[in-house]
């Protein structure tokens, strides 16, 4: 008999590990302490994943498969994937273990030892849910000086014939980002997000997570995520019908108390297998052809999935394991406590952290330009920042989280992903949001106790990293501006920065 292991983020009937499944084979799914606590995942993320796993196991059983499902609180549960595979091997006559390659390097390294330890062959099959294999990405990357997403994306468009005509990209351009940076008007009325009802399975999981993960970050209530493929498809439909048309215009916009904006909120479904990337791309492309959404919105959305998502996964497998420990800017400040409590007077940070706590979600520009930008200019330790991002979001797995954090926000990879650090001062946050209007700090003030901390931290970052960044051609303008600053101005920046971090060290509210 073969044992087929399905991980929590492998909830697709099309998994390579199920490709030739026989109804006599045994399918193992298990809720284990090791996976749920290697970082202390947000409570809502655990509820989502355990409930989605239990629903998927039910689907497999209904389809006639022999499923062994190990509950978290089963007294026999050994607490690890390896332990659960070994336990079944002792109880049954199993001649091969089959699994689809996991999304995280640490688990792949572990699985590659399993065969020796249990004395049975372990076949690790490729994860063919992605649109670019790790081998194809490595070939694309070979001999390139710069691994820029835009060129990768164009090749993916051509490979899959997405938004293409015989003469090239539909509309004549590959990228409509220039149209996608509108500031939000005052009276924007954002549609309500998808809202699934809680069933008995989710109810049980909520009780379990409340009892066993009380010390983990975040709120369970309200819980509205879909936990089945049908639910995830409904959420996708709702996005295409109600939000996609505006996705482009307000992609970079942030509004106070509007955590969901015009984003799709499907990342958590894609990453655990409830949705497939091609079906999301096809739905959006069809909406364009039917005249339901403009090209800037559809191209922008498709670029995120066909471009960014595949690209970051390619970078992850190309650069691991070294990527995880890279710290090109030698950043070493500890993550301030307010990343956990939201107890800060910086309104933008308070909003984004509060929403993250509440929803296990923040949209891209909040992750990038508020939470990430602060981490970059404050010089926070990449390891701590990575751990935070990996545990707080329901869509976070290391293959997608790490390149976004170490590459996109922190420049810890020294420029593998981004050609320059994405640092910005308060003016940018004010341009793209209405957060500054209700802030105790003033985005127009550059120094002193009322100044927006992003303003002086930005220049301190530029100054502090001069030896590493001055040579970057895209930073030339910044260093010219810095060089023109008076000594008094530079002293004021340093003093404000010192005061700010001293206040944090003294547990004062900043």
Q: Which of 43, 105, 367, 464 binds ligand FAD (CB under 6 A)?
A: 367
Residues 392-421 that bind ligand DLZ (CB under 6 A): 397
Asked if 395 and 271 count as a contact pair (C-beta separation under 8 A), the reply is yes
Question: At 442, phi and psi to the nearest 5?
Answer: -110, 120
Residues 85-104 that bind ligand DLZ (CB under 6 A): 102-104
Cα atoms in the 13 Å half-sphere on the side-chain side of 331: 29
Q: With 0-12 CB in 10 A as exposed, 13-18 as middle and 19+ as buried, what is 415?
A: middle
Q: Which does 107 bind (CB under 5 to 8 A by kind): ligand DLZ, ligand SF4, ligand FAD, none?
A: ligand DLZ
Q: Which CB sits closer to ligand SF4, 14 or 438?
A: 438
430 binds ligand SF4 (CB under 6 A): yes
- DSSP result, 312-378: HHHHHHHHTTGGGG--TT---BPPPTHHHH---S-HHHHHHHHHHHHHS---HHIIIIIIIHHHHHT
Q: Which CB sits closer to ligand SF4, 394 or 436?
A: 436
Instruction: Tell me the chain's radius of gyration from C-alpha atoms.
Output: 24
Q: Which CB sits closer to ligand DLZ, 39 or 369?
A: 39
- DSSP result, 71-131: -TT-TT--SSHHHHHHHHHHHS--SEEEEEPPSSHHHHHHHHHHHHHHTS-EEEE--TTSS
Distance CA 408, CA 264 (A): 21
Asked if 465 and 377 count as a contact pair (C-beta separation under 8 A), the reply is no
Distance CA 377, CA 455 (A): 10
What binding mask, one character per residue, do residues 34-73 give for ligand DLZ by CB under 6 A, x or -?
-xx----x----x--x------------------------
432 binds ligand FAD (CB under 6 A): no
Q: Which does 348 bind (CB under 5 to 8 A by kind): ligand SF4, ligand DLZ, ligand FAD, none?
A: ligand SF4
Distance CA 262, CA 249 (A): 9
Task: Name the segment binding ligand SF4 (CB under 6 A); options: 267-275, 399-407, 423-431, 456-464.
Answer: 423-431
31 binds ligand FAD (CB under 6 A): no
Q: Which of 65, 308, 388, 435 binds ligand FAD (CB under 6 A)?
A: 308
Distance CA 128, CA 131 (A): 7
305 binds ligand FAD (CB under 6 A): yes
Angle at 212 between CA 210 and CA 213, to 5 degrees: 70
Q: Which CB sits closer to ligand DLZ, 100 or 351?
A: 100
What sign does the CA torsion over 47, 49, 52, 57 have?
negative
Q: Which does 347 bind (CB under 5 to 8 A by kind): ligand SF4, ligand DLZ, ligand FAD, none?
A: ligand SF4
Residues 341-360 that bind ligand SF4 (CB under 6 A): 346-348
Q: How many residues bind ligand SF4 (CB under 6 A)?
A: 14
157 binds ligand FAD (CB under 6 A): no
Q: Which does 266 bind (CB under 5 to 8 A by kind): ligand SF4, ligand FAD, ligand DLZ, none?
A: ligand FAD
Q: How many residues bind ligand DLZ (CB under 6 A)?
A: 16
Phi-psi group of 163: left, alpha or beta (phi > 0 → left; psi -120 to 50 → alpha; rest → beta): left
Q: Coil, strand or helix: which one is 451?
A: strand
296 binds ligand SF4 (CB under 6 A): no
Residues 3-32 that bind ligand DLZ (CB under 6 A): 7-9, 30-32
Residue 412 C-beta: closest distance to ligand SF4, Å: 23
Residue 208 C-beta: closest distance to ligand DLZ, Å: 11
Tokens of residue 290, six digits: 């039917």
Q: Residue 348: CB partners within 8 Å, gap ≥ 6?
A: 254, 370, 429, 433, 435, 436, 439
Q: Which does 452 bind (CB under 5 to 8 A by kind): ligand DLZ, ligand FAD, ligand SF4, none?
A: ligand SF4
Q: Residue 296: CB partners within 8 Å, gap ≥ 6?
A: 176, 179, 180, 248, 249
Contact residues for ligand FAD (CB under 6 A)? 263-267, 270-271, 301, 304-305, 308-309, 312, 363-364, 367-368, 372, 389, 393, 395-396, 400-401, 404-405, 408-409
Interacting residues toward ligand SF4 by CB under 6 A: 346-348, 426, 429-430, 435-436, 439, 441, 443, 452-454
Contact residues for ligand DLZ (CB under 6 A)?
7-9, 30-32, 35-36, 41, 46, 49, 102-104, 107, 397
């Amino acid at each position: 008999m073969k044992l087929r292991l399905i991980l929590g983020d492998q909830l697709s009937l099309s998994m390579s590990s199920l490709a030739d499944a026989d109804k006599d084979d045994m399918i193992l799914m298990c809720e284990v302490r090791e996976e749920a606590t290697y970082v202390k995942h947000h409570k809502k993320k655990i509820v989502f994943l355990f409930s989605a796993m239990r629903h998927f196991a039910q689907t497999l059983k209904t389809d006639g498969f022999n499923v062994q499902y190990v509950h978290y609180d089963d007294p026999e549960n050994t607490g690890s994937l390896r332990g659960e595979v070994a336990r079944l091997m002792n109880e049954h006559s199993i001649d091969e273990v089959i699994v689809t390659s996991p999304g995280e390097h640490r688990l792949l390294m572990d699985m590659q030892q399993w065969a020796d330890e249990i004395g049975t062959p372990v076949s690790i099959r490729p994860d063919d849910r992605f649109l670019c294999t790790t081998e194809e990405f490595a070939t694309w990357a070979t001999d390139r000086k710069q691994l820029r997403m835009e060129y990768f994306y164009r090749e993916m468009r051509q490979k899959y014939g997405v938004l293409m005509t015989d003469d090239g990209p539909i509309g004549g351009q590959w990228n409509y980002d220039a149209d996608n940076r509108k500031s939000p008007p005052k009276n924007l009325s954002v549609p309500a997000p998808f809202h699934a009802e809680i069933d008995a399975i989710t109810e049980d999981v909520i009780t379990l997570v409340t009892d066993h993960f009380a010390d983990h970050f975040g709120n369970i209530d309200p819980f509205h995520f879909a936990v089945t493929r049908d639910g995830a498809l409904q959420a996708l439909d709702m996005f295409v019908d109600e939000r996609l048309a505006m996705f482009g215009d307000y992609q970079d916009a942030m509004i106070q108390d509007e955590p969901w904006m015009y984003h799709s909120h499907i990342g958590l479904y894609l990453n655990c297998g409830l949705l497939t990337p091609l079906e999301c791309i096809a739905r959006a492309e069809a909406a364009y052809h039917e005249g339901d959404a403009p090209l800037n919105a559809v191209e922008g959305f498709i670029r995120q999935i066909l471009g960014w998502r595949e690209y970051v996964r390619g970078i992850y497998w190309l650069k691991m394991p070294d990527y995880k420990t890279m710290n090109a800017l030698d950043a070493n400040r500890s993550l301030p406590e307010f990343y956990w409590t939201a107890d800060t007077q910086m309104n933008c940070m308070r909003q984004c952290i509060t929403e993250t706590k509440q929803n296990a979600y923040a949209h891209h520009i909040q992750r990038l330009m508020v939470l990430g930008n602060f981490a970059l200019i404050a010089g926070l330790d990449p390891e701590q920042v990575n751990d935070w991002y990996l545990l707080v979001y329901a869509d976070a797995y290391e293959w997608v989280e790490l390149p976004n954090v170490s590459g996109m926000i922190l420049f810890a990879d020294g420029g593998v992903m981004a050609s320059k650090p994405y640092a910005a001062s308060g003016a940018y946050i004010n341009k793209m949001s209405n957060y500054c209007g209700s802030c105790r700090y003033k985005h127009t003030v550059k120094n002193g106790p009322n100044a927006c901390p992003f303003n002086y931290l930005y220049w301190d970052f530029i100054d502090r990293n001069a030896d590493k960044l001055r040579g970057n051609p895209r930073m030339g303008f910044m260093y010219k501006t810095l060089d023109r600053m008076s000594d008094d101005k530079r002293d004021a920046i340093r003093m404000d920065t010192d005061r700010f971090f001293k206040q944090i060290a003294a547990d004062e509210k900043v």
